[in-house]
Amino acid sequence: MPKLLRRLGTRDAALIVMGGIIGSGIFMNPSVVARHVHSAALVMLVWAAGGLVILMGGGIFAELAARRPHDGGVYAYMRDAFHPSLAFMYGWTLLLVSQSGGAAAAAVTFARYFMPLTGWQLSSGLVAAAAIACFTAINALGVRSGATTQNVFMILKILAIGGFIAVGLVAPHAAPLSHPTTPDGSGIAAAIGLALVPVLFAYSGWQTSSFLTAELKEPHVTLPRGMIAGVVAVIVLYLAVNAVSLRTLGVEGLAATSTPASDIARLAFGPIGLRIMATVIALSTLGFLSNQILTSPRVYFQMAADGTFFKQFAAVSSRTHAPVVAIVAQGLVALIIAFLPYEKILNYVTCIDYIFFGFAAIALIVFRNRDARDPAAPTPIFRTPGHPVTTLVFLAVAWGVVGDVMFTSPETIVGIGILLSGLPVYWFFTRRASGRPGQLEVAEELRQ
């Protein structure tokens, strides 16, 4: 029976981590943060604090990968630490909301920048659909093809962001404020809390690299190293982008615009700067789309391999060694969402993500306790610094974000409903599997 092949290394893991995080948000969210805190020092503090939070999260996921380098990543952590039903609900929401919605958003954002650049008179939905179909086909050719494409776009993004930083350093810079304003003592904590939410949104996405565990060489080594390297690189890039934005526009100018990157490019190059930055953002969103279609089908593959989803999703092409059915299914769902008014869906995508970030922190505690009682448990090559304090802080922040999003965006209840709808679907598949002789044995063979 054809199986997934281990063709990816540490460099691939690091670039996939970065590709899962960097989309178009870093080019826009600095303005949102500036509107909350009104101080250059606080802007940088909030982005540094967000970086510290995701560094703690990256450390947790790095140790999870070192302790449990199981196929499916986060899905496997949920299955092995808690119950297969929770793991299924995670995969279920990836397919219906998180990954598909993220892919659709990236495709539509690309289309909205692509058409003005080319002057083509086409529907944004058709351009988005063409982009989704293109990357679905590339990933169906094999993990090496998909990863190479993702890596190329990630390197282009790094170069583009580096170019943006260089431009910002030579562009005219804003005069310092004669009377800078900051929130009063009682309001600083609240302002930082509000500003931290869009920062954490911009930093999210590192967990998708774990989905590719089955195709990483020595995943207990390569994934932890790639996770930390990728997260640190993103933090450095994000802090540099914000420093340049503040230098060029000032905190008032940054707060007054919704397109800071375009404004800086226009100051440096005039009208052509707007086209340059539109090209950069289009490339960034394409790279993010490539990452989403590369990573998430491996979760649906593992769900099927466990006997809790359509068995066809566990099929691997004998020619490309890729889970083609799972990849095509992901592409089709993303394509459908691209034609829907999905903006509200994206309001609760992050809520679902951070629910499971919290569960991942608890999973690390569970695995550490289990391994401490098992003399045969191997020693992981990476251990989360500061555990359990850093793990509990990350858990509190993750579920704090969930509470904030649920309070400010009541439509998140729909996302919770989709999450809970996975329970009867899980029950249906497990009942069907238990009623078919040999079905569970086949699932066990696929898992091995």
Domain ranges across the chain: 10-447
Amino acid at 310: F
**Is pTM beyond 0.85 here?**
yes
Q: Give dist(CA 248, CA 165) in Å, integer.
A: 10
Q: Residue 385: its pLDDT value, please? A: 95
Q: What length is written for the chain?
A: 448
Q: Residue 343: its pLDDT value, please? A: 58
Q: Residue 441: its pLDDT value, please? A: 47
pLDDT mean values, one per 10 residues, the chain (448 residues) = 84 94 86 89 94 95 94 94 96 91 87 84 87 95 92 91 84 60 63 85 89 92 95 96 91 88 84 86 90 94 93 92 94 89 64 92 97 94 96 95 82 86 94 61 48
Cβ burial of 150 (10 Å; 0-12, 13-18, 19+) is buried
Q: Residue 190: its pLDDT value, please? A: 77
Residues 6+ away with beta carbon under 8 Å from 37: 43, 46, 182, 183, 191, 192, 195
What's the fold here for domain 10-447?
Amino acid/polyamine transporter I (1.20.1740)
Q: Residue 24: its pLDDT value, please? A: 78
CB atoms closer than 10 angstroms to residue 382: 19
Q: Residue 121: its pLDDT value, please? A: 81
Q: Please check whether residue 23 is in contact with residue 344, taking contact to mean a CB–CB distance below 8 angstroms.
A: no
**The two structure tokens encoding residue 314:** 């566990």
Q: Please check whether residue 371 is in contact with residue 365, taking contact to mean a CB–CB distance below 8 angstroms.
A: no
In the chain the first and final C-alpha atoms are separated, in Å, by 12
